Each structure stands twice: as C-alpha cells, then as structure tokens.
C-alpha cells in the first residue's frame, strides 16, 4: 500500500513538472513571436527644406497661430492654402519657444494623405509641401499638425484644421 501511494505521488509530481515546463515553453514562445510580429517604428525624417527664422507671409494667405488652452505646443500655418503646380504653400512654423518637433500632413476629405512635411524643429518653418497631385481651387482639405517629443518621438498631440485650396498660381 505504501509503495502504491509513493508511486502515485511520484507520477503526480512528474505530470505536474511536465505541465509546468509545457506552460513555460509556450509562454516563452508566444512572447518571442509577439515581439517579432510588431511593426518597427521608423522615426520620420527632418524636413530638408526647413528654414531657420520667422517667415514673412502675405496677409492674403491667412497665416495664423490657432492655439487653444490645453494644447501642448504652438504652431502657425496658412489657413488659405495656395497651389504652385503640385506644391502647396503652407508656411508651417514651429515657434522657437516650443519643446516639440512638429510635422504637417495635408489630407483629402476621405483621410488620404496628399502630402506631408518632415519634422520641423523649434525656430524653423517650411514654406511648401509637395503633393501627390495638383489640387483644384476650392477643394476642401484637412491640415493635420502633429507634435513629437524630441528624442523619444512620443506624441505631443495632434490637431486637424479644415480649409480649402485657394488661388492656384
């Protein structure tokens, strides 16, 4: 009777050890494969056409700084987008006092990206954005301005402004 009880305990211990090893192995396998399946983040490049300073913008372009309480950063951009061929004049400006990098995307009303800047450092501006096609006067577009924390690229927030393409040069 004692031998049978001892044998049952030994078998139970072996079964539990095998189950524990199997669960541990499956957990390690899943953790390794989940990391491989995640898309690697590729930081956006800085805009090669960015200019240091504050732009001189014609009044007709509706250049403004649409800031509301609670926003993590400031920016300025043209409310009246004009086209020069396939380039949209935006004057996206990142004020010197900001602690974030910003970028702008121009989207159609379906959310498709028509064009975008690279990252713009504080104290810089980008005059024009190259678009995937020429946009006719009067076409509604959305300007999405995104902020990124330097070095970590964590989001500092985003804002979307609705406007329409103005004069075509």
Is residue 129 a contact partner of residue 107, using CB atoms and an 8 Å limit? no
Question: How many CB atoms neighbour CB 29 within 10 A?
Answer: 10
Query: pLDDT at position 131, please?
Result: 95
CA–CA distance, 148 with 154 (Å, rounded to integer): 6
Question: Lowest-pLDDT range, 4-8, 14-18, 23-27, 105-109?
Answer: 4-8
d(CA 100, CA 156): 7
Inter-residue long-range contacts of 24-27, CB under 8 Å, 24+ positions, other chains counted: none
In 3D, which of 153, 86, 160, 83 has the Cα closest to residue 118?
Answer: 153
Residue listed under structure tokens 């103005």: 166
- The structure's pTM equals 0.75
Looking at the chain, the whole-number percentage of residues with pLDDT higher than 70 is 90
Q: Over the stretch 71-108, which tens digit does the pLDDT of each residue have?
A: 889 999 999 999 999 999 999 999 999 999 999 999 99
Q: Specify the CATH architecture of the domain 51-168.
A: Sandwich (2.60)
Residue 98 confidence (pLDDT): 94
Phi, psi of 12 (to 5 degrees): -60, -40
pLDDT for 45 equals: 92
């Amino acid at each position: 009777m004692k031998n049978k009880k001892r044998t049952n305990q030994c078998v139970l211990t072996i079964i539990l050890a095998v189950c524990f090893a199997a669960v541990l192995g499956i957990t390690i396998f899943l953790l390794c494969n989940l990391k491989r399946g995640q898309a690697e983040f590729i930081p956006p490049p800085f805009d090669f056409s960015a200019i240091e300073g504050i732009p001189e913008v014609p009044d007709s372009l509706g250049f403004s700084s649409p800031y509301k309480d609670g926003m993590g950063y400031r920016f300025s951009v043209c409310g009246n987008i004009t086209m020069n061929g396939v380039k949209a004049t935006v004057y996206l400006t990142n004020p010197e006092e900001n602690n974030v990098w910003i970028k702008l995307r121009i989207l159609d009303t379906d959310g498709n990206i028509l064009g975008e800047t690279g990252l713009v450092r504080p104290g810089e501006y980008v005059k024009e954005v190259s678009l995937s096609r020429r946009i006719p006067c009067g076409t509604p577009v959305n300007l999405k301005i995104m902020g990124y924390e330097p070095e970590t690229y964590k989001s500092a927030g985003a804002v979307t402004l609705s406007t329409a393409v103005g004069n075509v040069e």
